[in-house]
Amino acid sequence: LGSVEGVRLFFAPGRVNLIGEHTDYNGGYVFPAALSFGTYALVKPRSDGMYRFRSMNFAQQVDTHVDAIEYRKEDDWANYPKGVLAQLLAFVPSAESSSFTGADILYYGDIPNGAGLSSSASIEMVTAYALSQIAGITIPIIELVKLAQAAENQFVGVNCGIMDQFAVGMGKKDHALKLNCTDLSYEYAPLRLQGYKLIVTNTNKRRGLADSKYNERRAECEAGLHMLREVKPDLPNLGALSMEEWTSLRNAVKDPLIRNRVEHVVSEDQRVLDAVQSLAADDLTKFGQLMCESHGSLRGLYEVTGKELEALQGAAMSVEGCLGSRMTGAGFGGCTVSLVREDAVDVFRREVEQQYTVATGLKPTFYVCD
């Protein structure tokens, strides 16, 4: 950084979820991994209380004083760092809040936006870490994870679960993370891929209605939980149900649509446990099958895939050497993640691009992941 005194560089990754979709806000399990691409923040402290947010990816330039942090729709991406700053100030004891004296921050991200790879959690976490560090305050990462989620829920207004911020904050090189979203207990699982690669493929379809549909699915799960509590009053969340229990209780959920949503959540939760076990046993064939079953459930029961994701997943599975493929993230567009034999990667790209473009008129983008 040459002669620019006091400038520091921070980084937070994006994440890909390998399996366990729409389970986090139901108190279930998820199995994400951090990615080598993410968000960089170059930070120079100030002493006048101003925070000046700039990005190499977006045009909006946003300045805010530490005493006047407000959500403004037109500030777009900068609402994420502003929300995090507001949460940091609420989190620290009042004596320490005077350490937040301002900063110039320049962001650069290489995660495709709105693709289901957590570009927003990545900017939240890099901001939370960087601003607490330059204020000289050490906050455990797990607390930064929670306050980044709170920023997104309360400041930005997206009612997301905790998976993304957790994976971004706690992810580790060459490992996936098995997270229990009820009590936040977690384990690292080595990603021994034995000559296979994880390929993230972007549909390049903007998600459009994703946020409202996301909140609609959350509400449907809550409705299911209410119906089940009629017969099992102490049920804390859907993640607490085993497949066996669900089979015996499912008639309590009269509405077939809600029943499908719950069936997805309960079966997906079991698939996460089975997938973690198959990875530990080096059984990638089984892992791939579970990915496909997860996708089928997200299509048929949870209904969050759509034409583009279906075309992409179908094309992926037609390639010899692809063990499994599924949508990843919230759905309604975004990306798939596929498990592909290394020597089949080139054929995979060619074949999938060809089939997908014929089906949708869109060009996919491929990321071979680390």
Which positions are catalytic?
164
Distance CA 101, CA 47 (A): 5
Minimal distance, residue 257 CB to ligand GLA, in Å: 19
Q: Per rule CB under 6 A, is residue 24 in the interface with ligand GLA?
A: yes
Minimal distance, residue 80 CB to ligand GLA, in Å: 13
Name residues contacting ligand GLA, limited to 139-178 (CB under 6 A).
160-161, 163-164
Q: Per rule CB under 6 A, is residue 80 in the interface with ligand GLA?
A: no
Instruction: Name which of 116 and 364 has its Cβ closer to ligand GLA.
Output: 116
Instruction: Name which of 25 and 91 has its Cβ closer to ligand GLA.
Output: 25
Q: Per rule CB under 6 A, is residue 38 in the interface with ligand GLA?
A: no
Of 127, 134, 115, give the one whose Cα is nearest residue 152: 127
Minimal distance, residue 314 CB to ligand GLA, in Å: 21
> Judged by CB under 6 A, which stretch of 21-29, 89-97, 227-235, 247-255 contacts ligand GLA?
21-29
Q: What's the one-letter identity of residue 82?
A: K
Name residues contacting ligand GLA, limited to 292-331 (CB under 6 A).
329-330
140 DSSP assignment:
-
- Taking CB under 6 A as the criterion, the residue among 10, 12, 19, 21 binding ligand GLA is 21
Find the length of the chain.
370
Minimal distance, residue 160 CB to ligand GLA, in Å: 3
What are the phi and psi torsion angles at 35 (to 5°)?
A: -110, 165
Instruction: Name which of 24 and 269 has its Cβ closer to ligand GLA.
Output: 24
Q: Per rule CB under 6 A, is residue 111 in the interface with ligand GLA?
A: no
Q: How far is CA 320 from CA 165, 266, 317, 341, in A?
A: 35, 31, 8, 9
Instruction: Name which of 21 and 308 has its Cβ closer to ligand GLA.
Output: 21
Q: Per rule CB under 6 A, is residue 25 in the interface with ligand GLA?
A: yes
Instruction: Name which of 25 and 107 has its Cβ closer to ligand GLA.
Output: 25
Question: What is the size of the binding site for ligand GLA (CB under 6 A)?
Answer: 10
Output b/e per residue, 180-200; b: 16+ Cβ within 10 A: bbeeeebeebebebeebbbbb
Give the 3-state secondary structure of residue 311.
helix
Instruction: Name which of 51 and 367 has its Cβ closer to ligand GLA.
Output: 367
Minimal distance, residue 24 CB to ligand GLA, in Å: 5
- Taking CB under 6 A as the criterion, the residue among 10, 13, 16, 22 binding ligand GLA is 22
Q: How far is CA 243 from CA 85, 110, 166, 303, in A?
A: 42, 40, 26, 20
Q: Give the orientation angle of helix 141-150 with respect to helix 163-170, to 10 degrees.
A: 150
Q: Give the orientation angle of helix 141-150 with respect to helix 119-134, to 10 degrees.
A: 120
Q: Per rule CB under 6 A, is residue 15 in the interface with ligand GLA?
A: no
Q: How far is CA 21 from CA 27, 55, 267, in A?
A: 12, 30, 11
Output b/e per residue, 118-155; b: 16+ Cβ within 10 A: bbbbbbbbbbbbbbbebbebebeeeebbbbbbbbbbeb
Minimal distance, residue 251 CB to ligand GLA, in Å: 27
Instruction: Name which of 105 and 170 has its Cβ closer to ligand GLA.
Output: 170
- Cβ proximity of 100 and 85 under 8 Å: yes
Name residues contacting ligand GLA, limited to 324-363 (CB under 6 A).
329-330
Residues that bind ligand GLA (CB under 6 A): 21-22, 24-25, 160-161, 163-164, 329-330
